[in-house]
Protein backbone atom coordinates (compact mmCIF):
# COMPACT_ATOMS: atom_id res chain seq x y z
CA UNK A 1 0.00 0.00 0.00
CA UNK A 2 1.36 3.49 -0.89
CA UNK A 3 1.81 5.93 1.99
CA UNK A 4 0.35 9.44 2.00
CA UNK A 5 0.85 12.45 4.19
CA UNK A 6 -2.24 11.58 6.22
CA UNK A 7 -0.73 8.22 7.11
CA UNK A 8 1.96 9.97 9.15
CA UNK A 9 -0.59 11.75 11.37
CA UNK A 10 -0.02 15.21 9.88
CA UNK A 11 -2.79 17.68 10.78
CA UNK A 12 -3.89 20.64 8.68
CA UNK A 13 -3.22 24.15 9.98
CA UNK A 14 -6.83 25.06 9.24
CA UNK A 15 -8.19 23.02 12.14
CA UNK A 16 -10.27 24.68 14.85
CA UNK A 17 -7.78 24.10 17.59
CA UNK A 18 -4.11 25.18 17.87
CA UNK A 19 -3.60 22.19 20.16
CA UNK A 20 -3.91 19.86 17.15
CA UNK A 21 -0.69 21.38 15.77
CA UNK A 22 1.17 20.74 19.01
CA UNK A 23 4.40 18.74 18.47
CA UNK A 24 5.46 16.64 21.46
CA UNK A 25 8.66 17.76 23.16
CA UNK A 26 10.00 14.21 22.85
CA UNK A 27 9.81 14.43 19.06
CA UNK A 28 11.58 17.79 19.05
CA UNK A 29 14.40 16.28 21.07
CA UNK A 30 15.20 13.81 18.31
CA UNK A 31 18.34 14.79 16.45
CA UNK A 32 18.64 14.97 12.67
CA UNK A 33 20.82 11.86 12.71
CA UNK A 34 17.91 9.92 14.21
CA UNK A 35 15.23 11.33 11.94
CA UNK A 36 17.08 10.93 8.63
CA UNK A 37 17.53 7.12 8.73
CA UNK A 38 13.85 6.77 9.69
CA UNK A 39 12.79 8.96 6.79
CA UNK A 40 14.93 7.00 4.35
CA UNK A 41 13.53 3.72 5.63
CA UNK A 42 9.96 4.91 5.28
CA UNK A 43 10.69 6.35 1.85
CA UNK A 44 12.21 3.07 0.67
CA UNK A 45 9.24 1.14 1.98
CA UNK A 46 6.90 3.51 0.17
CA UNK A 47 8.71 3.12 -3.16
CA UNK A 48 8.83 -0.65 -2.82
CA UNK A 49 5.12 -0.77 -2.01
CA UNK A 50 4.14 1.49 -4.88
CA UNK A 51 6.34 -0.48 -7.28
CA UNK A 52 4.57 -3.69 -6.41
CA UNK A 53 7.76 -5.18 -4.91
CA UNK A 54 9.45 -5.40 -8.33
CA UNK A 55 13.23 -4.97 -8.49
CA UNK A 56 14.80 -2.59 -11.00
CA UNK A 57 16.89 -4.24 -13.72
CA UNK A 58 20.33 -2.89 -14.67
CA UNK A 59 18.86 -1.80 -18.02
CA UNK A 60 16.11 0.18 -16.28
CA UNK A 61 18.79 1.79 -14.13
CA UNK A 62 20.52 3.05 -17.27
CA UNK A 63 23.26 0.42 -17.55
CA UNK A 64 24.28 -0.70 -21.05
CA UNK A 65 25.73 -4.13 -21.80
CA UNK A 66 29.12 -4.01 -23.52
CA UNK A 67 29.83 -6.77 -26.03
CA UNK A 68 33.52 -7.63 -26.26
CA UNK A 69 34.39 -9.37 -29.51
CA UNK A 70 36.98 -12.16 -29.46
CA UNK A 71 37.25 -12.03 -25.67
CA UNK A 72 34.98 -14.84 -24.46
CA UNK A 73 36.03 -17.84 -22.38
CA UNK A 74 36.77 -19.72 -25.60
CA UNK A 75 39.46 -17.16 -26.40
CA UNK A 76 41.38 -17.57 -23.14
CA UNK A 77 44.31 -19.91 -22.51
CA UNK A 78 43.58 -23.48 -21.48
CA UNK A 79 45.57 -26.67 -20.85
CA UNK A 80 46.32 -27.11 -24.55
CA UNK A 81 46.80 -23.59 -25.89
CA UNK A 82 48.09 -20.16 -25.03
CA UNK A 83 45.68 -17.46 -26.25
CA UNK A 84 45.50 -13.68 -26.20
CA UNK A 85 42.98 -11.04 -27.33
CA UNK A 86 43.53 -7.42 -28.35
CA UNK A 87 42.21 -4.59 -30.49
CA UNK A 88 43.61 -2.09 -32.95
CA UNK A 89 42.06 1.18 -34.11
CA UNK A 90 42.92 3.34 -37.08
CA UNK A 91 41.39 5.41 -39.86
CA UNK A 92 42.88 2.76 -42.17
CA UNK A 93 41.26 -0.66 -42.23
CA UNK A 94 44.51 -2.55 -42.87
CA UNK A 95 46.41 -0.57 -40.25
CA UNK A 96 43.74 -1.41 -37.67
CA UNK A 97 44.16 -5.10 -38.50
CA UNK A 98 47.94 -4.94 -38.25
CA UNK A 99 47.68 -3.15 -34.92
CA UNK A 100 45.36 -5.76 -33.45
CA UNK A 101 47.72 -8.52 -34.60
CA UNK A 102 50.74 -6.77 -33.12
CA UNK A 103 48.95 -6.11 -29.84
CA UNK A 104 47.83 -9.74 -29.69
CA UNK A 105 51.36 -10.99 -30.20
CA UNK A 106 52.68 -8.71 -27.47
CA UNK A 107 50.01 -9.88 -25.04
CA UNK A 108 50.62 -13.53 -25.95
CA UNK A 109 54.38 -13.17 -25.49
CA UNK A 110 53.90 -11.67 -22.02
CA UNK A 111 51.55 -14.46 -21.02
CA UNK A 112 53.86 -17.25 -22.24
CA UNK A 113 57.01 -15.71 -20.78
CA UNK A 114 55.30 -15.28 -17.43
CA UNK A 115 54.25 -18.92 -17.44
CA UNK A 116 57.68 -20.09 -18.56
CA UNK A 117 59.37 -18.27 -15.70
CA UNK A 118 57.23 -20.26 -13.28
CA UNK A 119 57.94 -23.51 -15.16
CA UNK A 120 61.66 -22.78 -15.13
CA UNK A 121 61.72 -22.03 -11.40
CA UNK A 122 59.79 -25.19 -10.58
CA UNK A 123 61.90 -27.36 -12.87
CA UNK A 124 65.31 -25.99 -11.89
CA UNK A 125 64.54 -26.07 -8.16
CA UNK A 126 63.45 -29.70 -8.39
CA UNK A 127 66.54 -30.73 -10.37
CA UNK A 128 70.22 -31.05 -9.44
CA UNK A 129 71.89 -28.21 -11.27
CA UNK A 130 75.20 -26.91 -9.95
CA UNK A 131 74.56 -23.23 -10.66
CA UNK A 132 70.85 -22.60 -10.19
CA UNK A 133 70.90 -18.87 -10.98
CA UNK A 134 72.86 -19.31 -14.20
CA UNK A 135 70.71 -22.20 -15.36
CA UNK A 136 67.52 -20.28 -14.59
CA UNK A 137 68.74 -17.31 -16.61
CA UNK A 138 69.67 -19.60 -19.50
CA UNK A 139 66.23 -21.24 -19.51
CA UNK A 140 64.44 -17.90 -19.49
CA UNK A 141 66.63 -16.46 -22.27
CA UNK A 142 65.97 -19.49 -24.46
CA UNK A 143 62.28 -19.34 -23.66
CA UNK A 144 62.02 -15.72 -24.81
CA UNK A 145 63.92 -16.56 -27.99
CA UNK A 146 61.60 -19.45 -28.82
CA UNK A 147 58.49 -17.37 -28.13
CA UNK A 148 59.63 -14.57 -30.43
CA UNK A 149 60.31 -17.09 -33.19
CA UNK A 150 56.94 -18.78 -32.82
CA UNK A 151 54.71 -15.70 -32.58
CA UNK A 152 54.55 -15.20 -36.33
CA UNK A 153 53.00 -18.65 -36.60
CA UNK A 154 50.25 -17.98 -34.05
CA UNK A 155 46.84 -18.85 -35.47
CA UNK A 156 44.03 -16.28 -35.57
CA UNK A 157 41.01 -17.93 -33.93
CA UNK A 158 38.72 -14.89 -33.94
CA UNK A 159 38.60 -11.69 -35.96
CA UNK A 160 35.95 -8.96 -36.13
CA UNK A 161 36.03 -5.54 -37.78
CA UNK A 162 33.77 -2.59 -36.97
CA UNK A 163 33.57 1.00 -38.17
CA UNK A 164 32.87 3.91 -35.82
CA UNK A 165 30.74 6.97 -36.56
CA UNK A 166 33.86 9.03 -37.30
CA UNK A 167 34.89 6.59 -40.03
CA UNK A 168 37.74 4.89 -38.13
CA UNK A 169 38.02 1.11 -37.96
CA UNK A 170 38.35 -1.11 -34.90
CA UNK A 171 39.86 -4.57 -35.36
CA UNK A 172 39.18 -7.22 -32.73
CA UNK A 173 41.38 -10.32 -32.73
CA UNK A 174 42.34 -13.41 -30.74
CA UNK A 175 45.30 -15.67 -31.53
CA UNK A 176 46.67 -18.92 -30.11
CA UNK A 177 49.78 -21.09 -29.93
CA UNK A 178 49.77 -24.81 -29.24
CA UNK A 179 51.31 -25.70 -25.89
CA UNK A 180 52.58 -29.04 -27.22
CA UNK A 181 54.27 -27.38 -30.20
CA UNK A 182 55.80 -24.74 -27.97
CA UNK A 183 57.32 -27.20 -25.51
CA UNK A 184 58.69 -29.20 -28.44
CA UNK A 185 60.51 -26.09 -29.72
CA UNK A 186 61.83 -25.42 -26.24
CA UNK A 187 63.18 -28.94 -26.09
CA UNK A 188 65.07 -28.49 -29.37
CA UNK A 189 66.83 -25.39 -28.07
CA UNK A 190 67.47 -26.69 -24.56
CA UNK A 191 68.91 -29.97 -25.85
CA UNK A 192 71.44 -28.06 -27.95
CA UNK A 193 72.68 -25.76 -25.19
CA UNK A 194 75.98 -27.04 -23.78
CA UNK A 195 75.50 -25.23 -20.48
CA UNK A 196 72.54 -27.37 -19.45
CA UNK A 197 72.42 -30.29 -21.90
CA UNK A 198 74.22 -32.75 -19.58
CA UNK A 199 71.67 -32.43 -16.78
CA UNK A 200 68.61 -31.55 -18.83
CA UNK A 201 65.68 -34.00 -18.58
CA UNK A 202 63.08 -33.43 -21.29
CA UNK A 203 60.36 -35.65 -19.80
CA UNK A 204 60.62 -33.93 -16.44
CA UNK A 205 60.60 -30.50 -18.05
CA UNK A 206 57.58 -31.41 -20.17
CA UNK A 207 55.74 -32.71 -17.11
CA UNK A 208 56.45 -29.47 -15.25
CA UNK A 209 55.33 -27.43 -18.26
CA UNK A 210 52.06 -29.34 -18.68
CA UNK A 211 51.27 -29.10 -14.98
CA UNK A 212 51.56 -25.31 -15.11
CA UNK A 213 49.62 -25.02 -18.37
CA UNK A 214 46.78 -27.04 -16.83
CA UNK A 215 46.25 -24.19 -14.35
CA UNK A 216 45.39 -21.76 -17.15
CA UNK A 217 41.68 -22.47 -16.81
pLDDT per position as a tens digit, 80-133: 999 999 999 999 999 999 999 999 999 999 999 999 999 999 988 888 777 888
d(CA 21, CA 51): 33
Kindly state the helix (H) or strand (E) to which residue 108 belongs, with its residue range: helix 93-125
Listing DSSP states for 180-217 in one string gives: HHHHHHHHHHHHH-TTTGGG--HHHHHHHHHHHHGGG-
> What 3-state DSSP class applies to 86?
strand
Assess contact for 161 and 97: CB atoms under 8 A: yes
At 31 the pLDDT is 52
Q: How far is CA 169 from CA 12, 60, 155, in A?
A: 66, 31, 22
d(CA 42, CA 14): 27
d(CA 156, CA 151): 11
Summarize pLDDT for 16-47 with one digit per residue, the tens.
444 445 555 454 455 545 555 555 555 554 44
Q: Put the strands of the sheet holding 169-178 in their side by side order.
A: 81-90, 169-178, 155-163
Amino acid sequence: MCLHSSDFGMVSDTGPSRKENYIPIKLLSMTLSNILPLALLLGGATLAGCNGGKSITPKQAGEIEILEYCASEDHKSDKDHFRASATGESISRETAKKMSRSNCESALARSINSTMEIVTDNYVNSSKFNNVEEVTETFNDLARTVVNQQLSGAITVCERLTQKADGSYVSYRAIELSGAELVSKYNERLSQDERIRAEYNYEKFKETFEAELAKQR
